[in-house]
Amino acid sequence: MSRRPRPAVFLLLALPVLGLLASACTGLASPKGYASPVLTDDGILLVSHREDVFAYEVDGMRPLWGFPSGDIDKDDIVALYGTPTVADGTVLIPTYDGKLFALSLEDGTPIWAEPFKADGPLVGGVAVANGTAFFGSSGGELYAVDVETGEEAWPAFQTDKEIWSTPVIVGDDLFVTSLDGHLYVLDPTTGQERWSFETDAGVAATPVVDGAGGRVIVGSFDQKLRAIDLETRDELWSASASNWFWAEPLLNAGVVYAPSLDSKVYAVTAATGEKEWEDPFDAKGEIKASPVMIGGTLFVVDRDGLVYGIDAQSGREAFPDPLDLGGSVLADPIALEQDGATVLAVVTTGGDLYLIDPETLQTLRQIELSG
């Protein structure tokens, strides 16, 4: 199968780039960053804002360390879009200026003598398996780097357009999407392509692999959400929206919850693609962030910073009104355990971290992030 996108794909690919520039998501002139927070197994919360990462002890939110620091010049770091990843005490931070940093989770000090330098900006996050970090670049390369040494494990796999998603590793398969319109499945030990699936436009969403169901679910800029059979590699079903599927869908209890830039959240059965809700949930603004499930409530944050609690079974609002954070949100929210209770953590593009009670949809704490 040729990897060269059809002319229609090129037209559609131009649109997301313009949209990014207009929204300052990854504008080349002044990139600002919107990486999502991460909770580690050690109880440390990593929160990003623009070119900074802040480490907190999650219980009590005591500050631990910040990035960049020491010999790393802040002026040399250009925005963080890819969510940091932690593996065996090492924090991996991809930056928009094409560098991958490896830091000690304990104190934030660099582990590698120099960061790994990719051929293009890093927008997606990093996946780690068996001591190897996998990540894509805006140059269209998928890299495999040894976490201990910072050296390439195998020559970069080349796609025809930018990779803005985070790779996914399930079993012995490595899944990655590209703005060339393809889902690629590679051998993670060699980087050799096993198979690929072509959509009708660019794919920026991270794929969701349903190993138990034998399918992978992908949202695309052709306004379709698809399920692809892992054995036959054929499309099983598709669901349509009126704008791009950009956020990573959430698979929970056999249901796929997929936000779209048309301001709606779609709920479909993973096995068949049939509607779970009578109508999609209609938010007030575009949705770039992935949803979070806490109990039986689906939490969604739109671009305008409105936080919605949605009854996962009916698709109706679980609270009388959304919570207005007063600032734009593009990063994925996360659920975390803090002081024995589950809270929802959301970061605005203006640099505020909100900790929200999922039972009341009220703000528990607001922390201003600053370097």
Report if residue 262 sits inside a domain.
no
Q: Are 78 and 65 in contact (CB under 8 A)?
A: no
Cβ neighbours, 10 Å, residue 368:
9
Residues 273-282: contacts with CB under 8 Å, at least 24 apart: 273/225, 273/227, 273/236, 273/237, 273/238, 273/239, 275/239, 276/315, 277/314, 277/315, 278/315, 279/315, 280/315, 281/308, 281/310, 281/315, 281/316, 281/317
Q: Are strands 90-94 and 99-104 parallel, antiparallel or unpaired?
A: antiparallel
* pLDDT for residue 72: 84
What's the CA gap between 225 and 213, in Å, rounded?
Answer: 16
Report the b/e string of 311-338 with b at 16+ CB within 10 A: ebeebebbbeebbebeebbbbbbbbbeb
CA angle 47, 256, 353 (to 5 degrees): 15
CATH number of the domain enclosing 347: 2.40.10.480
Domain that holds residue 363: 290-371
Q: Do the domain assignments include residue 302?
A: yes
Do the domain assignments include residue 171? no
The predicted structure's pLDDT at residue 12: 43
Position 273 in a domain: no
**Inside any domain, residue 282:** no
Structurally, how many domains does the chain consist of? Answer: 1
- Asked if residue 306 belongs to a domain, the reply is yes
Q: Which pair of tokens denotes residue 178?
A: 């590209």
- Encode the chain (371 residues) as per-residue pLDDT tens digits: 334 444 344 344 444 444 443 443 444 446 789 999 999 999 999 999 999 999 999 999 999 999 998 888 787 788 999 999 999 999 999 999 999 999 999 999 999 999 999 999 999 999 999 999 999 999 999 999 999 999 999 999 999 999 999 999 999 999 999 999 999 999 999 999 999 999 999 999 999 999 999 999 999 999 999 999 999 999 999 999 999 999 999 999 999 999 999 999 999 999 999 999 999 999 999 999 999 999 999 999 999 999 999 999 999 999 999 999 999 999 999 999 998 999 999 999 999 999 999 999 999 999 999 75
340 domain-assigned: yes
Q: Give the model's pLDDT for residue 371.
A: 55
- What residues contact residue 287 under an 8 Å CB cut-off, 6+ apart? 247, 259, 260, 261, 263, 264, 265, 300, 301, 302, 303
In this prediction the pTM is 0.92
For residue 101, tell me if it sits in a domain: no
Q: Which tokens in the block code for residue 23?
A: 């929204």
